[in-house]
A and B are shown apart, each in its own frame.
Chain A
Amino acid sequence: MNEIKTDVLILGSGGAGLFAALHVYDNNPSLNVVLATKGLIGKCGCSRMVQGGLNVVLNPADSVDKHFMDTIKGGGFVNNQDLAWTLVNDAPKTVHELEVKVGCFFDRAEDGKIHQKAFAGQSFDRTVHVADLSGIQIIARLTDQIFRREEKIKVLEETRALDLLTTEEGDRVVGAVMANIRTGEIFVVNAKVVVVATGGAASMYKISAPSFDKTGDGMAMCFRAGAEFVDMEMLQFHPTGLLAGQSRLSGSVLEEGLRGAGGYMINGLGERYMERYDPERMERSTRDRVARAGYMEIMAGRGTENEGVMIDMTHLGAEFVEKKFPGMCERVKDIGKDLAREPVEVSPTAHFQMGGVKIDIHCQSSLKGLLVAGEDSGGVHGANRLGGNGICESTVFGRRAGDTAAALAEQEVLRPYRQEQVEEIKRRWLKFYKRTDGVDIYPIRDEIKLLMWEKVGVVRDGKKLQEAVARLDELLEMAGQAYVANRTLSRYNMEWNDIINVTNWITVGRLVANGALLRTESRGSHYRTDYVDTDNQNWLVNIFLKNKGNLEIESFTKPIVASRFSAEEIRKANIKY
């Protein structure tokens, strides 16, 4: 079996992975980096799909304190405040680097300076953007910068990590077992530092926004390797996912800026239902609230025929909508509707995981040698993420992961991996080729999507969560019994990849469901009908989960990291979330 030895292994080529690679190189160009990505570089995952933009304080009338407060308020105050503070403070540097060094060109205001648009849940218009499809430019330019440094950054496309390699003691990651999707070849990357930046698993819901290839692989690997997780119950639903019937276009996000610009959310009866849920902020309320409101309208029978609600932009004038949101108009046109001239059916759509691997401000996880950045990490956003803080997180923490990785790689030695662990991982994932009969993975996949949507979705309760927890355990078992239709076909075998994807989904789904069961209150995107109130007395804590061994989940709680705005102040402020 082939083996690559390197200083730093980076998994994922979204904002976090690309920036991490860039920063390792720029810190120390003598270091060797392997950047592995499941799809084509810069083309898979969700950074590429960012529409709205990136929140950053640039205007002197704005301040990082305001951005910070917006972030933790929006996050229901359970954010790790150290991480949130890092986010808002690093954002201006990040945008500066994107413009001056990476070569992005964000839209300009009349005065020629970077334009900042309105997003929901924010006290200041601070979202920088490139029209309404910002991710294309951010990621394409970052990818180009990787090409410039190709001599030291080895890019492995259509190469996925199967599992992380750890030392005997289990407290350090020393690389990963990888699979080349094109050839089916299995090989080892032995690294001093591993950066996991593969994104979340919101795609495991029936209606969901992420790209198809993003299946929580990083999180699932980190869980199996024994890393600690935080806030896994917190999974965001975006209020305006396009409804396009059974077509896979369904669930794709119509960007937040639509509500920011003044779009109305209306139900099947034509009412602006946000009046009932957040009369003050109406449609510009945070995502968790608008999504839940939409869901409740639909559940109460006030939805549209296709179980949706509508977003209505017509009162803003067709010309304005077409000019400001060309990408959205075009997408809606694909399904035969006209966003600028008629209300369009939408539904809450699973969008983003606030929870993830526990990290510190240097992206260090609970395992040595393992750094995590972007959506796979948890704590930055608390119980709900603000629109525009997502790509902000991936780029800010991607940069940090790169800096940390470079520093660690300079200090550390390359530690050997254990061959028996490699064999075990190979057995785990290659057994699907060995069987002539077994379980078809696609019905399982369809079942999980439905199960998560119905039982671990926008509105939860203890009973459903318990059912989900039980069923997910069974499904994990079943997925282990899967087989591939053509046993000799290891080149670009999508079915084999889907078996891994589904297994990783279930692995992450179990964490979400178990976390949700433990949190007996409602907060942010986590809403339980059996505990509808936010309980600031008992629940200003974070739930931590980890692999106890044998994939059993161990849990514990810790008080929130409230280094800037104390739990006492939060309770006093008595803001209901």
Chain B
Amino acid sequence: MSSREINAKIFRYDPEVDAEPRFDEFKVPLIDNMAVLDVVMHVQNYIDKTLAFRCSCRIGMCGSCAMYINGKPRLACRTQVKSLGTNNITIMPLPNLPIIRDLATDMEPFFEKWKKIKPYYVGKSELTEPAVIRPDSGEREFIDQMLDCITCGCCYGACSMVATNEDYIGPAALNRAYTLIADKRDAIRIERINVVGRSYGVWRCHDQFNCAEVCPKKLVPTKSIQQLKKRCVLQKFGIFK
């Protein structure tokens, strides 16, 4: 890391015209606090203007810039070049998703699955005022930890079960389902249980924790999925209502 220059190897592919993807290499000057997003922006702004990638907020809140950086799905904006421990950076699009062009992936399969679990809150009709829930009641402790999902798709790109089975809903959507199913304010929890309990749902997770390992928000979807499996079984025996 002594050199003041970065060797960026960037995946290039235009599905409309290219028969095969290729890698282009760029030399980028190293700056202080440089994030990988700075690297790709430098390349696009000043070296090769045709590079395509997606980003928006640049502070890890929007989840637009997930890429496969040095062998791991990460947010380009929250990945400091220094943290990679090398000046050689290989940047590829997020796995398990179709490619629009270069580093920009089509998130549609991810969101189609997200929609499958009915991600929207449906309040119980008797709840006409914000629920009174004391923070020390523990009722929301685990939900609140898992609510911070920014739908960046890192977990989806890292999950080997998503890679194996294209129908598998994947960690992010299941995690979202859990935050609703565990939310006592929600009116359609059983409907959701019936979705996540299908064969493309929780049963495809084999607790490999790939999702948790890459989550930039440090969520542990595996835990949520385990909770869901438990609830599916309990519901079968009529214990979870």
Q: Which A residues fall within an 8 A CB radius of B?
A: 39-40, 43-46, 48-49, 95-96, 99-103, 105-114, 130, 133, 135-137, 140-141, 144-145, 147-148, 150, 182, 211-213, 244-250, 252, 330-331, 334-336, 442, 484-486, 489, 491-495
Contact = CB atoms under 8 A, between A and B. Distances in A.
A230 B10 CA distance: 45
B237 interface: no
A110 B64 contact: no
B132 interface: yes
B28 interface: no
B38 A492 contact: no
B31 A246 contact: yes
A49 B62 contact: yes
A44 B54 CA distance: 10
Interface in B82-123: 82, 100-102, 104, 106-107, 111, 114-115, 118-123
Interface stretch (B39-47, B159-167, B191-199, B201-209): B39-47
B34 to A, nearest CB: 6
B9 interface: no
B4 interface: no
Contacts, number: 180
A113 B137 CA distance: 13
B101 A211 contact: no
Query: Can you list the 8 inter-chain pairs with the closest CB atoms, starting with the nearest?
Result: A103-B121, A245-B32, A112-B132, A112-B134, A247-B33, A148-B120, A492-B52, A99-B130
A49 B59 contact: yes
A208 B114 CA distance: 33
Contacts of B31: 245-247
B70 to A, nearest CB: 17
Given A100-B128, A248-B58, A494-B53, 8 more contacts: A43-B151, A112-B135, A136-B148, A147-B111, A334-B78, A486-B50, A492-B104, A494-B51
B61 A49 contact: yes
Nearest to A114: B130
Interface of B: 14, 16, 31-35, 37-38, 41, 44-46, 48-64, 77-78, 80, 82, 100-102, 104, 106-107, 111, 114-115, 118-123, 127-137, 140, 143-144, 147-151, 180, 183, 185-186
Given A147-B115, A494-B44, A248 B50 contact: no
Contacts of A489: 14, 50
A145 B41 contact: no
A331 B100 contact: no
Given A108-B134, A484-B49, A485-B50, A144 B119 contact: yes
Nearest to B104: A492
Contact of B54 (A39, A103, A331, A495): A39
Given A108-B133, A112-B132, A486 B49 contact: yes
Nearest to A245: B32
Nearest to A43: B62
Majority secondary structure of chain A interface residues (helix, strand, loop or mixed): loop
A105 B147 contact: yes
Contacts of B120: 103, 141, 144-145, 147-148
Given A105-B140, A112-B137, A140 B57 contact: no
A494 B43 CA distance: 12
A491 B14 contact: yes
Nearest to A48: B62
Contacts of A334: 33, 35, 78, 80
A484 B104 CA distance: 19
A103 B183 CA distance: 10
A293 to B, nearest CB: 25
Given A248-B37, A252-B58, A108 B135 contact: yes
A48 B14 contact: no
A135 B104 contact: no
Given A247-B34, A492-B104, A110 B135 contact: yes
Contacts of B130: 95-96, 99-100, 106, 113-114
A44 B129 contact: no
Contacts of B80: 334-335
Contacts of B186: 103
Contact of A39 (B64, B106, B131, B137): B64
Given A43-B151, A102-B121, A135 B61 contact: yes
B161 to A, nearest CB: 24
B123 to A, nearest CB: 6
A271 to B, nearest CB: 26
Contacts of A49: 57, 59, 61-62
Contacts of B82: 336
A1 B21 CA distance: 31
> By CB atoms of chain B within 10 A, which of A95, A110, A213 has the most?
A213
